Structure 1
Amino acid sequence: MALSPAAERRLDEAEVRMLLVQGAPHLARRTLQLVDEGWDNATWRLGDDLAVRIPRRGLAAPLIEHEQQALPIIGPMLDAVGVRTPIPVVDGRATSEFPWPWSIVPWIPGTHALERPRARNAAWAPELANALRALHRTAPADAPHNPVRGIPLAQRDERLRELLALVPNALRLSIDSAWSAGLAAPVSTERVWIHGDLHPGNIVIAGDRLSALIDFGDVTAGDPSYDLAIAWMAFDAKGRAAFRHATAGRYDDATWVRARAWAASVAAILLVQSDDRDGYRALGRSTAAELLARDVTAPRAP
């Protein structure tokens, strides 16, 4: 199975501090600690209340720029419903030593939802629903473009079929049936802001409350069903019921059918391209299992 891509540039503490000296000298003397290194970015904690996000490969550099462009716009929308976002406090620029943009963002404490059992997540399902209702507003024409998120499902069918051939047999049917139903659903005409990478690892919980949504590198405009796939990725049947109840009147049944299909697509990606070290392959398995439930997408009685 594929692991995280190799870093094209990996900065040590002295090199990160040099970026700060050049781009944010008033913060350059703070303590620095590497706390995470994902597929796209390394995150260094800066003092007690800030963090530095630094691309580790060229493909991730535009994602930092997308956050710098979009979060000052959409962050206040989410803040209005009590959900924090990492709105950059410094837009770091490329230097002669480092060729890509980088950011200083607030450090948001809490627990990632990925680290919690699904049964505990129903408590904050309505809060996430309210956050997405606040986010899913018509986006401007110059919103960041993402060629694979929030687009018509048919445009990803070939890739899904390639992944499906590599999915374990026991999980293939649930993914295939959910995807096929989504393909048959009406195509969305909405073009709203979407997070674009809304999975439990990008949801921060404090106690049993939704604290923040993070990692907006894939933020874009498109079909809101892409974000609503979280119903199968984070919740069990009880949580999904609470989540959908809190969105009543905002999304039609076809949107939920497409959302279930997007959850199937993400499950396939996680099953094929993740390892077991970070919990994402396990998330792929549990998501595929949740697709068998019809509680959220069952049609309403006429």
Structure 2
Amino acid sequence: MTMHDDQVDVTTEIVAALVREQFPQWSGKAIRLVSSTGTVHAIFRIGNDLSARFPLRLADAAEVLTVLKREARASAELARVSRFPAPEPVALGKPGAGYPMPWSVQTWLPGTVASDADPSGSDAFAEDLAAFIASLRDADTRGRRFSSENRGGVLADHDAWMAQCFEESEGLLDVPRLRRMWSRFRELPRTGADVMSHGDLIPGNVLVAGDRLSGVLDTGGFGPADPALDLVGAWHLLRSGPRDVFRRTLACDDLEWERGKAWAFEQAMGLVWYYIESNPPMSGMGRRTLDRILESME
């Protein structure tokens, strides 16, 4: 089952043909689909050192190219400031071989994603995650401010999306209780200036070795945002004990902590219903995050 109505099919054969046509220097390398719960890209390994990312949702090729170039710049910038390994951009591919959009190539990072090697009970992982976020916050925004329609700006700007999520979640979740929570979350004031943020710290975007953070993926969204945005990782990735360690390490005050909870709530509400049939692990992650938030408020 596809995840999106406008999803584009990408196969190993298509990727191999694109590599042969556009990057013949890699044509002898094995092409392998990477199993992933990701919802934005299909990911293929090229040999042992590279990965190719193919946008899944059909869009105008010129617009996709603009996005991929912006993401490459953001990924390169994050890799320079991160205390932990992150993929670095290598090349941009063109449409071809039946695939209608540009695509990207970056370095491959070894490791196991947190959705497969659950680090949620590790204090050491919580400290690592906080250290990663702190290294991003220390990066210079160079005068840039949040300018996206995504998460990271004004909570109340997401009211229409949340209304749809509540409607779609009838029969799946305790919607009256969740509506009351959002009515409180959306009014939390913003006090801190934008800081540089990863923007999507979910289990599928972090790598684990043992019980430690070993790398961070999906870094193309690196940019200025609400300082509370990356605190979503506390709810997506950690149980209560390590979550407390994470908070102490970052020295979050009550307001920032609640806003981080609000951003995690907004993200999780969209995951549960949208992916319930097409991507059950992603839907389950959203439900687990909501459960953690609800437990914290009892």
The alignment's TM-score, normalised by the length of structure 1, stands at: 0.83
Aligned in 2, Cα 1:151/1:119: closer, same or farther, shift over 3 Å?
closer
Aligned in 2, Cα 1:41/1:187: closer, same or farther, shift over 3 Å?
same
* Alignment of structure 1 residues 13-92 onto 2, 5 Å: 13-36=12-35, 38-59=38-59, 61=64, 63-78=67-82, 81=83, 83-92=84-93
Gaps of 5+ in 1: 296-302
Aligned in 2, Cα 1:7/1:162: closer, same or farther, shift over 3 Å?
closer
User: Which whole-Å CA distance do the structure 1 matches of 2:96 and 2:2 have between them?
Assistant: 29
Alignment check: 8 A CA contact 2:120 2:237 kept: no
Q: In terms of mean alpha carbon deviation, does 271-280 or 220-229 score higher?
A: 271-280
After TM superposition, give the deviation of residue 126 of structure 1 in Å: 0.7
Matching of residue 207 in structure 1 with residue 210 in structure 2: yes
* Alignment of structure 1 residues 169-188 onto 2, 5 Å: 171-172=174-175, 175-188=178-191
After TM superposition, give the deviation of residue 90 of structure 1 in Å: 2.1
* Alignment of structure 1 residues 69-148 onto 2, 5 Å: 69-78=73-82, 81=83, 83-94=84-95, 98-117=99-118, 119-136=120-137, 137-140=139-142, 145-148=147-150
Aligned in 2, Cα 1:13/1:279: closer, same or farther, shift over 3 Å?
closer
After TM superposition, give the deviation of residue 292 of structure 1 in Å: 2.6
* Alignment of structure 1 residues 141-290 onto 2, 5 Å: 145-167=147-169, 168=171, 171-172=174-175, 175-248=178-251, 251-275=252-276, 277-290=279-292
Q: In terms of mean alpha carbon deviation, does 89-98 or 211-220 score higher?
A: 89-98
User: Which whole-Å CA distance do the structure 2 matches of 1:143 and 1:98 have between them?
Assistant: 34
Alignment check: 8 A CA contact 1:125 1:242 kept: yes
Q: In terms of mean alpha carbon deviation, does 170-179 or 102-111 score higher?
A: 170-179
| One-letter identity of the residue aligned with 1:259 | G
Structure 1 vs Structure 2 CA RMSD: 2.9
Aligned in 2, Cα 1:215/1:151: closer, same or farther, shift over 3 Å?
same
After TM superposition, give the deviation of residue 117 of structure 1 in Å: 4.5
| One-letter identity of the residue aligned with 1:122 | D
Q: In terms of mean alpha carbon deviation, does 66-75 or 188-197 score higher?
A: 188-197
Q: In terms of mean alpha carbon deviation, does 98-107 or 232-241 score higher?
A: 98-107
Alignment check: 8 A CA contact 2:6 2:58 kept: no
| One-letter identity of the residue aligned with 2:155 | L
After TM superposition, give the deviation of residue 139 of structure 1 in Å: 2.5
Alignment check: 8 A CA contact 1:35 1:44 kept: yes
| One-letter identity of the residue aligned with 2:48 | D
User: Which whole-Å CA distance do the structure 2 matches of 1:199 and 1:69 have between them?
Assistant: 21
User: Which whole-Å CA distance do the structure 1 matches of 2:114 and 2:209 have between them?
Assistant: 10
User: Which whole-Å CA distance do the structure 1 matches of 2:29 and 2:127 have between them?
Assistant: 38
After TM superposition, give the deviation of residue 129 of structure 1 in Å: 0.5
User: Which whole-Å CA distance do the structure 2 matches of 1:25 and 1:87 have between them?
Assistant: 20
Partner-residue secondary structure (3-state), 1:184: coil
After TM superposition, give the deviation of residue 142 of structure 1 in Å: 6.4
Deviations 1:94-122 (A, max 9, x none): 56965433222222222221234464343
Count of residues paired in the alignment: 290
User: Which whole-Å CA distance do the structure 2 matches of 1:91 and 1:144 have between them?
Assistant: 26
Aligned in 2, Cα 1:232/1:51: closer, same or farther, shift over 3 Å?
same
User: Which whole-Å CA distance do the structure 1 matches of 2:177 and 2:119 have between them?
Assistant: 19
User: Which whole-Å CA distance do the structure 2 matches of 1:32 and 1:144 have between them?
Assistant: 37
After TM superposition, give the deviation of residue 63 of structure 1 in Å: 4.5
User: Which whole-Å CA distance do the structure 1 matches of 2:6 and 2:27 have between them?
Assistant: 24
Aligned in 2, Cα 1:115/1:96: closer, same or farther, shift over 3 Å?
closer
Alignment check: 8 A CA contact 1:180 1:261 kept: no
Alignment check: 8 A CA contact 1:267 1:288 kept: yes
Partner-residue secondary structure (3-state), 1:109: coil
| One-letter identity of the residue aligned with 2:27 | A
After TM superposition, give the deviation of residue 143 of structure 1 in Å: 8.0
| One-letter identity of the residue aligned with 1:274 | Y
Matching of residue 12 in structure 1 with residue 16 in structure 2: no
